[in-house]
């Protein structure tokens, strides 16, 4: 399992890679938020250059839904602040 973390208060991000069978993990700290975001965007962009598979399509669809949910929450929050 891979966990991505980005602080909301500082430019600090990390990646944790955990073995789900024995719980061992490797933690990479000291990443900038920009580098973490850039890695995620590059991963998604690179999917477009690979042959389509049901698994890849499902991931992109799920990611799209989550992104839309975040944007909707932000818009609702902005509307409440403006009211």
Name which of 22, 41, 24, 30 is nearest 5 in CA terms: 30
The vertex-26 CA angle with 21 and 27, nearest 5°, equals: 135
| Residue among 29, 27, 64 at smallest CA distance from 44 | 64
pLDDT > 90? residue 65: yes
Is residue 23 located within the same domain as residue 60? no
Q: How much of the chain exceeds pLDDT 90, in percent?
A: 77
Q: Domain of 70?
A: 51-83
Say yes or no: 10 and 22 in one domain: yes
Give every strand in the sheet of 25-31, ordered side by side: 2-6, 13-18, 25-31
Predicted structure pTM score: 0.74
For residues 56 and 36, membership in a common domain is answered with: no
């Amino acid at each position: 399992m891979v966990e991505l973390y980005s602080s909301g208060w500082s430019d600090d991000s990390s990646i944790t890679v955990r073995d789900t069978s024995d719980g061992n993990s490797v933690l990479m700290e000291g990443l900038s938020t920009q580098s973490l975001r850039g890695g995620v965007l590059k991963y998604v962009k690179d999917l477009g250059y690979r042959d389509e598979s049901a698994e890849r399509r499902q991931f992109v669809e799920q990611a799209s839904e989550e992104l839309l949910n975040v944007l909707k929450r932000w818009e609702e929050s902005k509307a409440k602040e403006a009211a």
